[in-house]
Amino acid sequence: MGLKIEQLRYEADGLSMLGHLAWDDALDQPRPAVLVFPEAFGLGEHAKERAERLATEFGFVALACDLHGNGETIESLDEVMPLITPLRTSSDKVRDRVCRPLEVLAVRPEVDAGRMAAIGFCFGGTMSYELALAGADIKAAIGFHSGLEVTSPQDSGQIKGKIMALIGADDPGITSEQRAAFETMLRTGGVDWQMHLYGGVVHSFTSPEADLRGMPDFLRYDAVADDRSWKHMALLLNEVFQ
């Protein structure tokens, strides 16, 4: 026995979602679980592969979450921006998208609902922070090259888990001012937080497919930063799941 995959249906924000659930069925006890929020383009292979790695490397149950409904992915940035703009401006809309998969995952028999966390990539990392801001009972929210502007910074006092931001120091989409504002928000909320900056690294550094878009000054895979950030994530998850 070993890695098991299930396409998991759930409803969120009026959409029929199709998530990618991964777990190791050789384990017979409830275990920690992690939500994996994808980049803005939707639930692609990158997020699915990371969910499977969480299952195979650490024995976690992992749900790579849908973003646009029915597992749809969108290639064009021009098409995707109008779809995610409401999620960047409305806490109610984004919270339904992030809280519903947590509820679905928590009731799985393989899951220890007292040990859950969320990670995300690009906009998905922002969604993991939104889940924490909603007061969700998660141990950690971790964002890889994620935007730091959230819908409800005033709710930072509701955050129950630890926060980790993994950022390319030269990411043109995440300014030093945004990093400072994010830090202020977390300090104000009394949150246990950390931020790792990777020098010479820009956006989408965990995704080899980023290079295919032909925008190396903005989107570029970095194998070293990818490896380092995954290890930083693993250290925090090991800490909070003890």
Angle CA(58)–CA(210)–CA(12) in degrees, nearest 5?
60
Cα–Cα dist 45/32, whole Å: 23
**Cβ neighbours of residue 127 under 8 Å, at least 6 residues apart?**
37, 65, 87, 94, 97, 98, 118, 120
pLDDT in tens, the chain (242 residues): 699 999 999 999 999 999 999 999 999 899 999 999 999 999 999 999 999 999 999 999 999 999 999 999 998 888 999 999 999 999 999 999 999 999 999 999 999 999 999 999 999 999 999 999 999 999 999 999 999 999 999 999 999 999 999 999 999 999 999 999 999 999 999 999 999 999 999 999 999 999 888 889 999 999 999 999 999 999 999 999 99
Cα–Cα dist 201/18, whole Å: 32
Cα→Cα distances 66→14, 29, 72, Å:
13, 27, 8
What number does CATH give the domain 3-240?
Answer: 3.40.50.1820
The SS3 assignment for 174 reads: coil
DSSP 66: P
